[in-house]
Structures are given as C-alpha cells and as structure tokens.
Amino acid sequence: MNTPLDTGGIDWNVLEPETGILLFSQPSVADPYRYITKLQIDRRLWDSAGFTTNARESLYADFDGDVLKIARDGTRRVKRREATSKGVVVEIPNLGYLNVGSVKVGVGNGSLLLRGEALI
C-alpha cells in the first residue's frame, strides 16, 4: 500500500473541478504493457505552482493511488512535451493505468496536487 502524500491540509471538498485539464494514460509504443500518463494543464495553474516552461527544470511526480503530486522532488521524472501561452503538456512514465475526470487542483508550495474521479 502506498504512503499517503502530504497535501498540505488541502480540503478537497471545497475545491471545484478545474476545466481544461486532461489526465490520462495510454500504452507505451515501445512496450504495450507499460503506460505513459499525460497531463494537459492550463498555463495559469502551471505558473501558479512556480514552475517554468524551461525544459531543463527538473520536475518529478509521486502518486499514492489517490493524489498525483508534481514537484521539484519525487520518484518519477516528468517530461515536458509542449508549452504554449495557453497550456502545458507533460508525460509521466510508469504510473500505471490512470484515467480521471473532474480533476481538482491544489497548488502547494512549489507543487501541483491533482485529484479526480476514476474513469473506467
């Protein structure tokens, strides 16, 4: 069982789902038994976490089965794929099959915390 992530006391019940966020997994081209998770997020949310669009900025992801955390430290490297004035697209390898809807976003101290309802 995964250890719950420190969410900084975010009350998920008072947060409304954000629009314009996609969080889904798809099979890897190299190995169809592995999944790559993609996150497409609005640029204002990305910037509010203190992240830049510099590809050299090291970001990592952790997932405890409920909350996905993107921060400057963690266990899985985040790969930035696209950054425009409207949004940012990143890939996170090896999270498993993760497809969620109604994503709620909490902005922590130098981190993004995402939580959503599982889609089948």
- Residue 6 lies inside a defined structural domain of this protein: no
Which residue range is the domain that position 100 belongs to? 22-118
Confirm whether 85 is domain-assigned: yes
Q: Is residue 2 part of a domain?
A: no
Q: How many domains does the chain have?
A: 1
Residue 39: predicted pLDDT: 94
Please write down the HEC assignment for all residues of 18-44: CCCCEEEEEECCCCCCCEEEEEEEEHH
| Residue 15, domain member (yes or no) | no
In whole angstroms, what is the distance from residue 113 CA to residue 105 CA? 6
pLDDT at 109: 74
Question: Given this model, what pLDDT does residue 96 score?
Answer: 85
Ranges assigned E (strand) in the chain? 22-27, 35-42, 60-63, 68-71, 76-77, 79-83, 87-93, 100-108, 111-118
User: What pLDDT shows up at residue 80?
Assistant: 87
Residues of the chain with pLDDT under 70: 1-2, 12-14, 119-120
Q: Output the pLDDT for position 20.
A: 80
Task: Please give the backbone phi and psi of residue 10, each rounded to the nearest 5 degrees, phi first.
Answer: -65, 130
